[in-house]
């Protein structure tokens, strides 16, 4: 069986006195050597170290002398007098004591030098004095001291929740078999979730009976990584612990001029540099946790979640595609309920998507929408599907039937100002997700292929995939393809549109689109949309409700009460919700400037001004008729 599967040295049953007894045995052996007797190397930690690092007999004797002399200054003084020119402990002194061939200094490839066990101090005659590494002396004395270069940068790997989808048993079995055959392994855990990777590595290590040693990502400066790699793997050999490093520190997996520890983990996305010679590669792609697993994670990371209503916790787990590290970070904020937990996730994952998208505050609720009953029901259907789809796609047969198109895409079509953007805000708020408005002008490019690249970059972003994306003026992105291709520009334009359709079809998240010109959208793209919701202009009843809400929100209660009986008159004038809100706001500022309470005529004048922006003329005479005639 490989040495890597033996019991860790620090887990043995030896007592502190045993280590002192071993050092005493080496002292007596040194005294005997001074009298001309060469005894065999005593059994113990030094012999174990010599085996693990392939030390020669001379190198083992050098370490024994340095160990004893560190505790016996008088004996050291007696010893160095034998080599008066040097006056220090070196190979030239130790070699003849134990019957080795004369040498001046260690070979350039000596494991003692390669593993930084000793440091050479060159002397003028070509020999060298030797000093032992302090961490190595501690290890020989049975003290579980961390290498000084590693201190503050590594920690023992702590176990965590083991998710059912992780192939822990298969990974451990494969690695155990290879290690027993003397193979060396570098295991790549392909995931951007560092905490999930560490928990997976801890699970495998536990099954192999070995502790893991996790290295803080990016903790070593570039000029210190070469030595840090050697010392990390030396620590692994000394204490039988498995190095676990991030991909950004992948160079720590191939220490210079020495054999790496037989097992190590590197976690992170992307390709790794070539492994050291003689080391085999294994890769496991850790799947993102699904709804049921995320619910487990919340209960594990946040004990208070056990008391949350089951339906709210289930919705949190299903609607928020969070990884292990994200859930742990959000749980550390100590949320009082599922809503606070969702808010914590949104805050943590807000990435910089400039220049392609910006976050819109989604502060509206369902009661803020003034829409026909059928339109409102369609929007409720979209919100329900956004919650429920996680359960649907968790079923194998449903997932098999829909290998593509599992994302939720909805198109809101209708004239400007009819509530399309507000509806997107309401759905996002209802789901507890951020709403990211896509800047179409930044996505669309005149250069061939660049528009598709921009969209892919946007859709691949974790911040986008875990939010609601909102495309306004979607017809600019998904316009109709050219039927009669006349030149290369037409051909490339059609190709770009096809790529955009494919990219969005493969997107697993939630996308809401708005368009004032539904007829301009390519029919092939419309077929890929789950929901198409029409937003008509508001009728007289809806307009009255819009006026009432705008006036009640902007004006003092007494002024709003005075205007309320008159609002049915102005509500007869056709206008969209956006126009009504703007007219009410303009009336507020105009009334304050005139230092008087607003009246129906002022509302009408501001409404006429807003309608004029859209080319809808309303003469003073027409306005007078609308306002003076009782509703």
Least confident window among 29-43, 256-270, 503-517: 503-517
Strands 118-122 and 279-285: unpaired
Helix ranges (DSSP H) in 5-133: 16-34, 45-52, 57-71, 73-80, 91-97, 111-114
The two tokens of residue 343 are 């808010």
Question: Concatenated DSSP letters for 261-292?
Answer: PSEEEEESSS--PPPPTTEEEEEEEPPPP-HH
The pTM of the full predicted model, rounded to 2 decimals, is: 0.78
Q: Is omega for the bond preceding 355 within 30 degrees of 0, making it cis?
A: yes
Summarised one tens digit per residue, pLDDT across range 68-94 is: 999 999 999 989 888 767 678 999 999
Q: Is 30 helix (H, G, I), strand (E, B) or coil?
A: helix
Identify which of 57, 244, 215 has the alpha carbon closest to the alpha carbon of residue 146.
215
Least confident window among 67-76, 252-261, 354-363: 354-363
Mean pLDDT across the chain = 87
Summarised one tens digit per residue, pLDDT across range 565-610 is: 999 999 999 999 999 999 999 999 999 999 998 898 899 889 989 8
For residues 585 and 550, give the distance between their C-alpha atoms in angstroms, rounded to a whole number. 8
Identify which of 224, 249, 259, 300 has the alpha carbon closest to the alpha carbon of residue 3.
259
For residues 525 and 517, the model is more confident at 517
Cα distances from 367 to residues 363, 364, 376, 545, in angstroms, run: 12, 8, 10, 11
Helix ranges (DSSP H) in 303-368: 310-319, 324-331, 338-349
Identify which of 378, 387, 219, 250 has the alpha carbon closest to the alpha carbon of residue 316.
387
Least confident window among 71-85, 368-382, 441-455: 441-455
Strands 435-438 and 357-360: antiparallel
């Amino acid at each position: 069986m490989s040495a890597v599967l033996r019991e860790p040295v620090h887990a043995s049953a030896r007592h502190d006195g045993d280590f002192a007894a071993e050092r005493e045995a080496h002292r007596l052996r040194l005294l005997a050597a001074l009298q001309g007797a060469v005894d065999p190397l005593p059994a113990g930690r030094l012999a174990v170290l010599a085996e693990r690092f392939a030390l020669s007999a001379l190198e083992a004797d050098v370490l024994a002398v340095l160990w004893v002399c560190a505790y016996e200054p008088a004996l050291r003084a007696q010893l160095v007098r034998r080599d008066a020119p040097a006056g220090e402990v070196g190979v030239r002194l130790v070699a003849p004591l134990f019957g080795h061939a004369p040498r001046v200094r260690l070979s350039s490839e000596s494991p003692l030098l390669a593993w930084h066990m000793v440091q050479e101090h060159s002397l003028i005659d070509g020999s060298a004095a030797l000093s032992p590494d302090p961490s190595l002396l501690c290890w020989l004395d049975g003290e579980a001291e961390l290498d000084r270069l590693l201190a503050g940068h590594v920690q023992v790997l702590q176990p965590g929740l083991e998710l059912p989808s992780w192939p822990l048993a298969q990974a451990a079995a494969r690695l155990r078999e290879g290690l027993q055959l003397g193979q060396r392994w570098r295991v790549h855990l392909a995931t951007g979730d560092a905490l999930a990777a560490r928990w997976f590595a801890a699970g495998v290590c536990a099954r192999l009976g070995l502790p893991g040693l996790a290295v803080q990502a990016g903790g070593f400066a570039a000029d210190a990584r070469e030595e840090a790699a050697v010392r990390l793997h030396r620590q692994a050999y000394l204490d039988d612990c498995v190095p676990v490093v991030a991909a950004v520190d992948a160079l720590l997996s191939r220490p210079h001029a020495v054999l790496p520890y037989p097992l190590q983990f590197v976690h992170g996305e992307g390709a790794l540099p070539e492994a050291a010679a003689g080391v085999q590669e294994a890769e496991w792609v850790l799947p993102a946790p699904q709804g049921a697993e995320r619910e487990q994670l919340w209960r594990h990371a946040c004990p208070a979640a056990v008391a949350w209503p089951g339906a709210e916790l289930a919705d949190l787990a299903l609607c928020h595609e969070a990884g292990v590290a994200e859930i742990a970070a959000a749980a550390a904020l100590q949320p009082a309920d599922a809503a606070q937990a969702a808010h914590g996730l949104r805050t943590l994952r807000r990435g910089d998507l400039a220049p392609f998208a910006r976050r819109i505050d989604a502060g509206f609720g369902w009661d803020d929408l003034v829409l026909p009953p059928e339109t409102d029901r369609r929007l409720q259907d979209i919100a329900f599907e956004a919650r429920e789809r996680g359960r649907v796609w968790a079923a194998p047969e449903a997932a098999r039937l829909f290998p593509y198109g599992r994302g939720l895409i909805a198109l809101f079509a209708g004239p400007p100002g009819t509530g399309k953007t507000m509806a997107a805000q309401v759905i996002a708020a209802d789901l507890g997700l951020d709403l990211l408005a896509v800047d179409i002008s930044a996505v669309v490019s005149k250069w061939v292929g660049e528009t598709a690249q921009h969209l892919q970059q946007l859709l691949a972003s974790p911040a986008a995939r875990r939010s609601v994306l909102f495309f306004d003026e979607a017809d600019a992105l998904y316009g109709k393809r050219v039927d009669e291709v006349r030149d290369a520009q037409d051909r490339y334009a059609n190709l770009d549109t096809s790529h955009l359709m494919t990219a969005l079809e493969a997107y697993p998240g939630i996308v809401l689109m708005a368009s004032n010109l539904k007829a301009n959208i390519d029919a092939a793209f419309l077929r890929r949309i789950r929901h198409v919701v029409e937003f008509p202009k508001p009728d007289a009843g809806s307009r009255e409700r819009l006026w009432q809400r705008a006036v009640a929100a902007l004006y003092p209660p007494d002024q709003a009460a005075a205007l309320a009986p008159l609002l049915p008159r102005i509500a007869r004038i056709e206008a969209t919700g956006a126009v009504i809100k703007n007219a009410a706001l303009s009336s507020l500022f105009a009334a304050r400037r005139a230092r008087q309470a607003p009246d129906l005529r002022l509302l009408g004048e501001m409404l006429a001004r807003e309608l004029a922006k859209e080319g809808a003329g309303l003469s003073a005479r027409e306005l007078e008729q609308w306002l003076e005639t009782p509703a």
